[in-house]
Structure 1
Amino acid sequence: MSTYSIKDLEQLSGIKAHTLRIWEQRYNLLSPKRTDTNIRYYDDDDLKLILNVALLNDNGFKISKIAGMSSLEMREEVIRLTEKNLTYDDQIHALTICMIEMDEERFEKVLSTNILKIGFEQTMLNIIYPFLSKIGVLWQTGAINPAQEHFISNLVRQKLIVAIDGQVNKGGGKKFLLFLPEGELHEISLLFATFLIKSKGHKVIYLGQSTPKEDLQLVYRLHRPEYLMTVITTSPNSQEVQGYIDCISQEFNESEIVISGYQIVGQDLRFPKNVKALHYIRQIKEYLEELEQVFQEK
């Protein structure tokens, strides 16, 4: 079971820590535990409760009424609400609850409902990515356990693969080679880039996770793609990433290299002429639209 500080609850629910403490005292909403050194902490049940409270409160329920509801009544009301056309924040709350409970059926239903209503691309941009970003800090600090991370990542990955398979290439377009550096396993952004690139009618050669340099060179020589794209989240690390950028820039100097990820965003890096850095996920779509404009003008 994971443990959370009151600041973790604030980050995930959007309810200020000060407000949480007032509700705790006035309505006995929470029962914090204490470590051997008397530090307060909260568990998964507390997080689920506060996420449900936040969603209900955001949708007009008074806190005094919420405090009088049983856990079952609260859960049923939340499920009813999340099946309506709610805000993105409400849907993110719902996904977070699914993650904590590791409820695959409910997670699938929330995602599918949103995809039907606003489409796959908008669901990814406005719900999935903010959700992953919101809990990403907690993954890094250990507040959320690896099992929960793998559970969510694999479900999102499955959705992406199905969406990619649904794209039909009619020929034409440019050739993109997508890969992750050796040791890099976080491929959700790369899969989403694949979906967007194919949706624009381009061809994708997808090498995926942890691509050895020799394999990358072999495929590059065989296909001679106009564009390479990669995402660096953990590997290479911050001390090695500049050298890696310089290396692939020289190795594949006949192509434009598009690069993004945690080790790229906000870092003090030098980008050679043939390297284009994208600092947030929406830029992938914008970049492709700019390319399309250039192709049309030629």
Structure 2
Amino acid sequence: MNATPKEPAARHPIRIVSRRTGISQELLRAWERRYEVVTPHRTKTGRRLYSDEDVRRLRLLADVVEGGRRISDVASLSVQELIGLKEEDARAARPGLPQDPAPSSDEDHIEEALALIRAFDQEGLRGLLERTTLELTRPRMREAFLVPLIRRIGSEWAEGTLRIAHEHMATAVIRAFLTAIPGRTGSVEGAPLAIIAAPAGQQHELGALLAMATIIEAGWRALYLGPDLPAEEIAAAVKSRDASVVALSLVFPAGDPGVVHEIRRLRDLLGEDVTILLGGSAASMYQRVADETGARMTLDLGSLVQELGSAQD
């Protein structure tokens, strides 16, 4: 007598699935609601639990969407069809082969955001940011939307295209959006702690906020201290909370001797046991002091995640 095949065990809560697939919890719920991409098991208390097959399917969906496909076009495909589509897209993207133009949606989002900033439309900008959490996977939202948007805000401010008031309004809205991420993702009990700040003389904080969001998504706890903070204050927080990593955001001005002094002073105060990470658009201008103090350079968010992994080894 043949045994009835068992259904795959549903054992993964939505927080774990989000981390494994790179799909934010909000986006995952939206995909389930609109496209029925998976049907998680519900516990008596209403918690979603996902099987290994669910996770595999969601990871494939995230991959093909990351490659430029619309979720509405691929949501009904089987796992085998998704694998075939992913392989087809990978072959088409190999160097030397003609490629279709990249989707314009990311650039459209950026231009829409800049138009809202120029119009001082705080509510419109807030709504756009929330909309992107439903339309884009978390890595794509960060890399293809937030990073270039923050760079454009900085460059247009430096060129005088955006006023200081524009930059401050945008910072306030993006700060509120990014600082809400810990509540959305939850924190892992017992995870290592990183402290994020911009040192004295560095007034711009969007890069630091983006680093904070990336650190949280990498499974760490994060304490954000803000911009323009003296080395003594950063060190006091590190020692009080027993943090293992300090991430410093360096944006403007670039190559500032005062910032060089602050980095040296921070290393003197912390000793050699705490990892110091230097990131931001001006970080490469501080390579000499990084070499001198043993600080690690994180010139993009991918290298930030890699350095966090090294700090745990």
TM-score by length of 2: 0.59
Counterpart pick for 1:234 among 252, 256, 259 = 252
| Residue 291 (str. 1) matches residue 310 (str. 2) | yes
| Cα distance change on mapping 1:199 and 1:137 into 2, 3 Å | closer
Counterpart pick for 1:269 among 268, 288, 301 = 288
Letter of the structure 2 residue corresponding to residue 261 of structure 1: G
| Cα distance change on mapping 1:220 and 1:267 into 2, 3 Å | closer
In the TM superposition, what is the alpha-carbon distance from 1:97 to its structure 2 partner? Answer: 1.6
Residue of structure 2 in register with 1:17 after alignment: none
In the TM superposition, what is the alpha-carbon distance from 1:156 to its structure 2 partner? Answer: 1.0
Structure 1 residues 128-182: Cα deviation after superposition (integer angstroms, max 9, x where no partner): 2212212422211222211211121111111101123223223122221222212
Counterpart pick for 2:216 among 179, 185, 198 = 198
| Cα distance change on mapping 1:274 and 1:95 into 2, 3 Å | same
| Cα distance change on mapping 1:173 and 1:139 into 2, 3 Å | same
Counterparts of 2:282 and 2:104, CA distance in 1: 34
Q: Is the 8 A contact 2:106 2:144 kept in 1?
A: yes
Letter of the structure 2 residue corresponding to residue 123 of structure 1: M
Counterparts of 1:278 and 1:122, CA distance in 2: 19
Q: Is the 8 A contact 1:181 1:236 kept in 2?
A: no
Structure 1 residues 178-204: Cα deviation after superposition (integer angstroms, max 9, x where no partner): 222124332222222222222233222
Counterparts of 2:307 and 2:287, CA distance in 1: 22
| Cα distance change on mapping 1:244 and 1:273 into 2, 3 Å | closer
In the TM superposition, what is the alpha-carbon distance from 1:96 to its structure 2 partner? Answer: 1.8
| Cα distance change on mapping 1:235 and 1:200 into 2, 3 Å | same
Q: Provide the secondary structure at the position in 2 that maps to 1:171.
A: coil
In the TM superposition, what is the alpha-carbon distance from 1:277 to its structure 2 partner? Answer: 1.1
Residue of structure 1 in register with 2:109 after alignment: 91
| Cα distance change on mapping 1:88 and 1:224 into 2, 3 Å | same
In the TM superposition, what is the alpha-carbon distance from 1:90 to its structure 2 partner? Answer: 1.6
CA-based RMSD of the aligned residues comes to 2.6
Residue of structure 2 in register with 1:136 after alignment: 154
State the identity %.
17
Residue of structure 2 in register with 1:63 after alignment: none
- The count of corresponding residues between Structure 1 and Structure 2 is 209
Residue of structure 2 in register with 1:259 after alignment: 278
| Cα distance change on mapping 1:137 and 1:198 into 2, 3 Å | closer
| Cα distance change on mapping 1:245 and 1:100 into 2, 3 Å | same
Letter of the structure 2 residue corresponding to residue 197 of structure 1: I
Structure 1 residues 230-257: Cα deviation after superposition (integer angstroms, max 9, x where no partner): 1122368523333333322232222110
Q: Which moved more, 1:142-151 or 1:235-244?
A: 235-244
Letter of the structure 2 residue corresponding to residue 272 of structure 1: E
Residue of structure 1 in register with 2:299 after alignment: 279
Q: Is the 8 A contact 2:202 2:253 kept in 1?
A: yes
Structure 2: where are the runs of 5+ without partners?
1-102
Structure 1: where are the runs of 5+ without partners?
1-84
Residue of structure 2 in register with 1:166 after alignment: 184
| Residue 104 (str. 1) matches residue 110 (str. 2) | no
Residue of structure 2 in register with 1:79 after alignment: none
Structure 1 residues 96-147: Cα deviation after superposition (integer angstroms, max 9, x where no partner): 2212222233323322222101134421221122122124222112222112
Counterparts of 1:220 and 1:166, CA distance in 2: 25
Runs of 4+ in 1 over 6 A off after TM superposition: none
Q: Is the 8 A contact 1:233 1:263 kept in 2?
A: yes
Q: Is the 8 A contact 2:287 2:297 kept in 1?
A: no
Q: Is the 8 A contact 1:257 1:275 kept in 2?
A: yes
Q: Provide the secondary structure at the position in 2 that maps to 1:102.
A: coil
Structure 1 residues 58-91: Cα deviation after superposition (integer angstroms, max 9, x where no partner): xxxxxxxxxxxxxxxxxxxxxxxxxxx8521122
Counterparts of 1:148 and 1:206, CA distance in 2: 23
| Cα distance change on mapping 1:121 and 1:165 into 2, 3 Å | farther
Counterparts of 1:115 and 1:129, CA distance in 2: 15
Counterparts of 2:259 and 2:270, CA distance in 1: 16
Residue of structure 2 in register with 1:50 after alignment: none
Counterparts of 1:291 and 1:148, CA distance in 2: 38
Q: Which moved more, 1:175-184 or 1:230-239?
A: 230-239
